[in-house]
Amino acid sequence: MTTPDVDVTELLTIAEQVAREAGALVSDGRPDRVTVAATKSSPQDVVTAMDYASEELVRRRLAQLRPDDGVLGEERGLLAGASGVTWVVDPIDGTVNYLYGQPSYAVSVAAVTGPAGQAPDPRTWTVLASCVHAPTLGLTYTAALGRGAWRDGVRLTMGAGPGDLSDCLLGTGFGYRAPRRAAQGRVVAALLPLVRDIRRIGSAAVDLCSVAAGSLDAHYERGLQPWDLAGASLVVTEAGGVVAGLRGQPASDAMTVAGPPALVARLTALLADLGADSDA
C-alpha cells in the first residue's frame, strides 16, 4: 500500500494532544464506583460510560483537526475518510482495569494508512504515528514512522533481550469468551515452566509499550483487535523491536508476538508448535 503524502510529525503531535485530552477526561472524571454501561462479546467484555465519552472526545477533536481522515474506534466503529489516513482509536484499553480501579489502562490514538472508505487492516496497514497515554500510570508513549519512539519524551531503544527463554518475563492476555480462554490456558500452562514468569497486566497497549521500554521482555496474545494493536505496535517497532504473527504472517487477531527480533523468532516458533493461534 502506498503511504499518503503526510507529515508524520504533525500526525504525532495530533495523536499526543488528543490522547492526553481523552486521558484527562477518563482519569479526572473517574467516579468512585464505575458501572458497566454495556457488554460486547461476553458478559465479561464490558464497556463503561467513560469508554463512550472518551471516544466521542477523540472523534470530535479529530474531526476539527483532520476532517478528511477516517476514524476506526473500538466503540463506534468506522467513519470512512477520503485522505488515505485513518485514526485507529482505543478510548480505554484496559477497560476491566478501569472498572476495578487498577491503574494499567491507556488511551491509544494512532494514524494508519488504509484504503479510502474501508477499515484499515493490521495485516496490510502502515502505522504512521501514535500515542499511548496511560494517565494513572503517568506514562506517555509516542512514536512516528522512521523517527523513533519515546516514553515521556525520552527515546526508547530496545535491547537484545534475554538469550534464554528461561530468563524471559513474558506478557500475555486472554480473550473474553470461555472456549478461547480454555485454549489460552493450555498454551500458558505449557509456557510457564519455560520462562522466568508471566504477567497478565490487562491492557495490551500498556503491555506492548512495556516491551518497548524493557519492563517486559516480550508479549504474545491471540485476539488483539486493530485498536488494541495500532498505537503500541509502532512504539515497539520504532524502538527496534518486532511485532509479528505466527508462521510468517503479520500480526493480527490470530496472534501477535512482540519483542526483540531474536526472542520473537524463538517465541513464534514455540507458539506455532503449541498451536497458540487456534482455539482448539
What residues contact residue 143 under an 8 Å CB cut-off, 6+ apart?
A: 12, 127, 129, 130, 149, 150, 231, 234, 235, 237, 238, 239
> Are 236 and 156 spatial neighbours (Cβ–Cβ below 8 Å)?
no
Closest C-alpha among 277, 250, 229 to residue 74 = 229
Burial of 79 (0-12, 13-18, 19+ CB in 10 A): middle
Tell me if residue 238 is catalytic.
no
> Are 232 and 141 spatial neighbours (Cβ–Cβ below 8 Å)?
yes
Q: Which is nearer to ligand IPD, 115 or 250 (CB)?
A: 250
Q: Which is nearer to ligand IPD, 115 or 176 (CB)?
A: 176
Q: Name the active-site residue from 75, 207, 228, 277.
A: 228
Bridge partners, residue 70, by sequence: 86
Q: Which is nearer to ligand IPD, 84 or 210 (CB)?
A: 210
Tell me if residue 74 is catalytic.
yes
Tell me if residue 273 is catalytic.
no
Tell me if residue 228 is catalytic.
yes
Q: Which is nearer to ligand IPD, 92 or 128 (CB)?
A: 92
Q: How far is CA 84 from CA 71, 89, 187, 263, in A?
A: 11, 16, 38, 34
Q: Name the active-site residue from 21, 92, 207, 237.
A: 92
Q: How far is the CB of 154 from ligand IPD (least distance, A)?
A: 24
Let me know how long the chain is: 280
β-bridge pairing 77-79 and 46-48? unpaired
Q: Name the active-site residue from 51, 55, 69, 74.
A: 74
Q: Name the active-site residue from 21, 55, 93, 238.
A: 93
Q: How far is the CB of 206 from ligand IPD (least distance, A)?
A: 8
> Are 92 and 26 spatial neighbours (Cβ–Cβ below 8 Å)?
yes
User: Applying CB under 6 A, which residues contact ligand IPD?
Assistant: 74, 90, 93-95, 173-174, 202-204, 221, 223-224, 228
Q: Which is nearer to ligand IPD, 69 or 75 (CB)?
A: 75
Q: Name the active-site residue from 90, 238, 253, 277.
A: 90
Q: How far is the CB of 228 from ligand IPD (least distance, A)?
A: 5
Q: How far is the CB of 199 from ligand IPD (least distance, A)?
A: 11
Tell me if residue 93 is catalytic.
yes
What amino acid positions are annotated as catalytic residues? 74, 90, 92-93, 95, 228
